[in-house]
Structure 1
Amino acid sequence: MAFKEGGAPVSAATAKALPVDIPNKARSTAMDAIEDILYGSISGVVGKYIEYPFDTVKVRLQSQPDHLPLRYTGPLDCFRQSIKADGVMGLYRGITAPLLGAAAETSSLFFFERLGREVVYASGYYSHDRVLPLPALWFTGAFSGSLTSFVLTPIELVKCKIQVPMMTSADGMAPKAPSIMSVIRGVYKHEGFRGFWHGQMGTFLREAGGCSAWFGSKETTTKLFYLLNERNATSQLEKDALATEALPLWQQAVAGASAGMSYNFLFFPADTVKSRMQTSPIGRSAQNRTFMQEGRALWKQSGLRGMYRGCGITVLRSAPSSAFIFMVYDGLKRHLPL
């Protein structure tokens, strides 16, 4: 069994027989790119609404300062304190920027992943009439994440400073929930344009490794399900039908969920260090630590446990969010081609 781009299966014989038509291929690539941007944006927004309250708790757990006693004993305590202080809607504080960010992030991921496939084809190891093997798809995921990290860092910096307002006040007064524009103005005033990429190394490590696992796990799990379904088929006619049909929804959901959990767990320490860097007070740029300095400080304070603070809730929320992202994206690509 072989797979088209996007996870749709084709038989080996069909894959070998695919025609190579340069004009049609160019048009197809352009339309696929438009679909990646449009459908990736829609699926990203859906996923963000599902995961955002959990992401707020995760960032608050990650960003607790190393020179003070821990404010939260765990995710449930953070939920309880946050709802008590700001109500349920407080968990959605600052969601406007992340919604735009989710649209930009997810569309970038799918767009750059397709670009990564073109890079692999251009290397000469594979031609366009061949289906890429799983190791190549893990590489295209890393390629996609590496480029997406540069788009994502400024968005996440603004998001983190809004989610953790107590970390943005440098005067010791009771913090006021900052707006998107106030954060942007503050960062630019004190740190310039370059300040929006504070924490870039953490985002790069998380996205390069995490997106390799995100795309790779999804494609691997999808392939395993197709092989399992083919093995359980009782006739050749049923096997042929399976080769052209999408997976059942529950299998699509499992494949997407496995992708989200792999992405978040494997490179979570990089995200923790990044969140601590991005929630440092605005106006104290002299105290901004590098990625390695922040990592050493956290390790000295809490060790490995501190690196994975908030990981459980992050992996938990990533399962339904990632499942919906892939289901929405694949469904739109399949049923509403441009």
Structure 2
Amino acid sequence: MTDAIAHFTAGTAAGMAGVLAEYPLDTVKTRMQVSAPVKVPCICSPISVTTAISATAAAPRTTYWQCVSHLYQCGGVRSFYSGLSLPLAAQSAEAAVIFSVYNSSLQHFLRKQQLQPQEQEQGKISTSCGDHTPRLHGLRQDDSKHRQQQQQPQVPVWSSPAHWKASACAGFAVSFVLTPVEMLKCNRQMHSARPHWNHRQATARELARHLLSAHGVSGLYTGMAGTVMRAVLGNMAYFVSYEQCREWLAHGFARSSHDDEVVPMWHSMLAGGISGCCYWTIAYPADVAKTKMQVCPLARQQGFTRTLANVYSSGGAAALYRGWGVTVVRAFLSGSIVFTTHEHCCNYLRRSPSALTHVYDSAVASTPKPPQEPQAALISH
């Protein structure tokens, strides 16, 4: 229970920190993927599907700086943060789910492989984000044998089926949280760049109400197939690359350090940044198709596979990776912040039982309790 609360709380804080840092670049990424920022209709737009198709086909492609300039001219700095409130709340929940499911799944698959904590400490396998032998900052600095054991030959993380399976489980689970958020976020980001519209921008609640009334719950889950592909493939690259980089850095650091030294913060920042780049390099084509399905009526009707094929046939691999450059910058920044925040929060909560108890007591206190009968009435009965 203690580890579950620590990972959930640390994931929440990491998600909030990451979205605050990356959101402006995420807005530019969404605009670049669609390629027709002004003429592609919002899901709530009264423009017909036929008009939308012709407008999308005739729209010119834009560069990064043209996209940034257009956003700034339309609404200033606020246009880069359009729809921030929804992702800020949702991505904190998303990160909490990802880290919680990943670590619990990792424990399950390691037990299934009959790997005991003693075997892991002897260098059989590494679990930098797991609960068996956490490699977080300072968590093992009191163990004088830890750095000596790190020098022993280790099986690479990328060859561990448990890490791949746990990452896939985390990606699949978070897809159910991520799809409605992406649907509302992408449409709000596109809506903010239409200076010729006279009516005000629809709020996330209004967009959700419109989708539910027009399409039911399935309207919020448009592009689910693309989100699942993005989350599963991306998180497999995300966690495995992070843990492997941390293992390489920790192994190299141990050769030239003393036993009482703590692994520096830049290890987690560098490994987190690299893992973020790996996530989006692997998952970006699926995200392009997902975004088009969520903001373009034609792509929504065609489905994920056909949309992905149409994007490839229109421009090859370059079309599948349109806007990838700004996304990699965003991913490096976000990955370094998310993993560093998560590790420091876990480190603090595990080293401070009173803080972890306070988090648990606050959650219990916020849970509504059923009303109780007066004491006098109980005595009379």
TM-score, with length taken from structure 1: 0.81
- Contact 1:47–1:325 (8 Å) recurs in 2: yes
Between stretches 309-318 and 146-155, larger displacement belongs to 146-155
Partner of 1:241: 260
Partner of 1:216: 240
Separation of aligned partners in 2, 1:173 and 1:289 = 28
SS where residue 311 of structure 2 aligns? helix
The verdict on how the C-alpha distance between 1:138 and 1:107 changes in structure 2, with shifts beyond 3 A counting, is same
- Contact 1:52–1:92 (8 Å) recurs in 2: yes
Match 1:60 to one of 19, 23, 31 = 31
Q: How does 1:193-232 map to 2 (within 5 A)?
A: 193-232=217-256
Structure 1 gap ranges (5+): 1-29
The verdict on how the C-alpha distance between 1:198 and 1:129 changes in structure 2, with shifts beyond 3 A counting, is farther
Match 1:153 to one of 179, 188, 191 = 179
Larger Rg: 2
How many pairs were matched up? 296
SS where residue 57 of structure 2 aligns? coil
- Contact 2:70–2:193 (8 Å) recurs in 1: no
**Paired-residue identity, %:** 27
SS where residue 116 of structure 1 aligns? helix
Separation of aligned partners in 2, 1:52 and 1:159 = 11
Match 2:333 to one of 320, 325, 330 = 320
Match 2:116 to one of 104, 107, 127 = 127
Partner of 1:142: 168
Instruction: Tell me the amino acid that sits aligned with residue 298 of structure 1.
Output: V
Q: How does 1:217-296 map to 2 (within 5 A)?
A: 217-233=241-257, 238=258, 240-242=259-261, 245=262, 247-280=263-296, 288-296=301-309
Between stretches 294-303 and 155-164, larger displacement belongs to 294-303
Separation of aligned partners in 1, 2:200 and 2:315 = 29
- Contact 1:256–1:325 (8 Å) recurs in 2: yes
Per the TM alignment, residue 217 of structure 1 is displaced from its structure 2 partner at its CA by: 1.1
Per the TM alignment, residue 166 of structure 1 is displaced from its structure 2 partner at its CA by: 7.3
- Contact 1:94–1:159 (8 Å) recurs in 2: yes
CA RMSD of aligned residues (A): 2.3
Does 2:319 align with 1:306? Answer: yes
Separation of aligned partners in 2, 1:95 and 1:191 = 25
Does 2:220 align with 1:177? Answer: no
Match 2:16 to one of 20, 32, 45 = 45
Separation of aligned partners in 1, 2:301 and 2:198 = 22
Separation of aligned partners in 1, 2:315 and 2:59 = 11
Separation of aligned partners in 2, 1:105 and 1:184 = 19
Per the TM alignment, residue 70 of structure 1 is displaced from its structure 2 partner at its CA by: 4.0
Per the TM alignment, residue 126 of structure 1 is displaced from its structure 2 partner at its CA by: 1.9
- Contact 1:210–1:266 (8 Å) recurs in 2: yes
Separation of aligned partners in 2, 1:311 and 1:53 = 15
Separation of aligned partners in 1, 2:25 and 2:207 = 22
Partner of 1:113: 102
Separation of aligned partners in 2, 1:143 and 1:192 = 27
Does 2:191 align with 1:187? Answer: no
Per the TM alignment, residue 182 of structure 1 is displaced from its structure 2 partner at its CA by: 1.3
SS where residue 198 of structure 1 aligns? coil
Separation of aligned partners in 2, 1:55 and 1:206 = 15
